Amino acid sequence: MCIIWLWSLLLINVLNTVAQDCPEYIRTQYDYIIVGAGTAGSVLAARLSEDPRVQVLLLEAGDKETDRPETPFITTPGLAKQLRNSSVDWKYFTHPQENALFGYKNKQAALPRGKVIGGTFALNDMIYQRGSPGIFDEWDKKGAKGWGFKHVAPYFRKSVDTKVIELSKSDLHRSCGPMTVSTLQPTSLLNVYFNATQSLGYDAINCNEKEDQGICRIQTNIRGGERLTTAKAYLNEARGRQNLNIVTKALVSRVLIARRQAVGIEFIFSNVSFQVLASNEVILSAGSYGSPKILFLSGIGSREHLYNLQIPVIADLPVGENLQDHISVDIRVFVNVSTMKPNSNLNRLMIDQYFYQRKGLMASIGGSEAFLFANTNKTRLSPYPDLQFTFTSTIADHDHKLLRVMNKDDELIKSWYSFGKKRDGITITVKLLHPKSRGHLKLNSTDPNEMPIIDPKYLSNVEDIKTLYEGIKIVKSIIETPIMQSIDATMEPTFKGCKEFKFDSDLYWKCYIQTFSDPGHHPVSTCKMGAFNDVRSVVDNKLRVKDVFNLRVVDASIFPEITDHPNAATIMIAERAAALILK
């Protein structure tokens, strides 16, 4: 009787509020309510609404991509960085760091996240990288049963339409899925990268195949010279379905829970609060920052944290813990050959080349061409590489306006970036693939409009600094190869922030890593998936929130361990989640 009474009360509340201001097509009840129209949410909405018998509501806090003045920037690959701090960005910032980000004001970096249909996929670098098969086998071994590589490979395959010739006959790829996977037009330096690394014993491999150590060409989600998000690839086709409603500018404030069962959601639209019921499930796909925030506001999280905020505790779970993100450092290498200059003023030729042919610099991802994956662990044979090196045929960004948007320190900008502005060079970025440091996310208040506290605790584990230093040694060995020396490759001590240390000393590189470290912008694991009896996990291996019925989380926040680039794996997770739900 109590449940029936509660449902009746909620329904009356819904009918009263919907009549005021909500979009006229919204229903009072759906089978599935999905929160967030990003990478995962777009896939889920499209797949679930393929069944005409179910009613699906998709809520997005941002606006439609086509309704934004930034639409040309979203569509054009080479303009992705211009979307930072725009109206399609949530404008998150890190908490001040103790061991990293010394080159940022107050040791705080901007954390761009998409607030638009398409989510962060609408403003990222469009790189398609699945991750080492070994990392998914590790997921399975550590409690996420059924998520080993053999289990997830079919869902990777289901999602792709590969245009990479070398992969056309691969059993891990296909050519009729929604997501186009392609390579970019190479520059003359691509062969230099391959030859230099191969001379050191690294193999040439195909990205996204079973081999996970060696050098490969970068693959992207670019189709016809334009960005291809899951919103375009999946959602556009589904928009006309009568059983799918999409509401934008809807900020979800909490999940409605009765007797440990999710029964609907509450959201804010045009400054008015609305409630909608879900007869089957509520699915959070709001990302590694958004999903834990909504769980906290709904009474799901650590008892101590919720108690401090005076939020009634429904389920005591480690929400917001285990935050993982990549961290990287750029190494600038000066050369005597002409390289790309993506931050110079766009000229008429570049613009015409893009708008008439969808080719050239504006159709690229800033000159990044190849990845080298390497394992520095000498004590044991690791099942997957711990470092990724990105070869970019341009000098590191020296766009002062963009760097200030990211909160870089003004003195660092002047001393480090300005030095190489008129010189030819390349950038080799060393990225830590599997950091040992763990951070957390917490609420600042119970106001759903307020940004959460995000503390990644970058480099808090000293092993991360050591691994990045090993990566810098590998960069030095690449620069010293005969083929790199044939183009006069040099690495000069141009970084003002560490001049008190002798260049190339251990102390210099530790300072360099801590000062010039950058966020990877790949947050995961804040709603970790694991075994049901694992006290460190939030969802089980079917992505169901523990101790609460009819509530799932489907996005990168459920990763037990970070992958190379989370976007491809997030698409896979959404494909698999849709199959689990419909089954």
Is 252 within any annotated ligand binding site?
yes
78: nearest Cα among 548, 371, 392 = 392
Nearest to 512 by CA among 501, 521, 523, 520: 501
> Is 554 labelled as part of a ligand binding site?
no
32 beta partners? 56, 281
**Annotation marks residue 434 as catalytic:** no
- Amino acid identity at 123: L
Secondary structure letter of residue 190 according to DSSP: H
Please give the structure tokens belonging to residue 166. Answer: 């070398």
Rg, the chain, Cα only: 24
User: Using an 8 Å Cβ cutoff, are 559 and 322 in contact?
Assistant: no
- The response to whether 427 counts as a known ligand-binding position is no
Q: How many CB atoms sit inside 10 A of residue 380's CB?
A: 7
CB 293 within 8 A of CB 38: no
Determine which one of 326, 398, 434, 565 is catalytic: 565
Separation between Cα atoms, residue 88 and residue 164, nearest integer Å? 31
In the three-class reduction of DSSP (H, G, I as helix; E, B as strand; rest coil), residue 72 is classed as helix
Residue 565 falls in the annotated catalytic set:
yes
Residue 116, token pair as written in the block: 């638009």
Q: Which two tokens stand for residue 277?
A: 């019921």
Query: What angle do the packed helices 149-159 and 133-141 form, to 10 degrees?
Result: 130
**Alpha carbon of 273 to those of 10, 57, 233, 251, 269: distances in Å?**
13, 16, 32, 9, 6
Q: Pick the catalytic residue: 173, 326, 440, 522?
A: 522
What distance in Å separates the CA atoms of residue 553 and residue 542, rounded to the nearest whole number? 9
Count of beta carbons in the 10 Å neighbourhood of residue 111: 22
Q: Do residues 567 and 127 make contact, with C-beta atoms less than 8 angstroms apart? A: yes
- Known binding site for FAD: residues? 116, 120, 252
Hey, which residues are catalytic here? 522, 565
- Known binding site: residues? 116, 120, 252
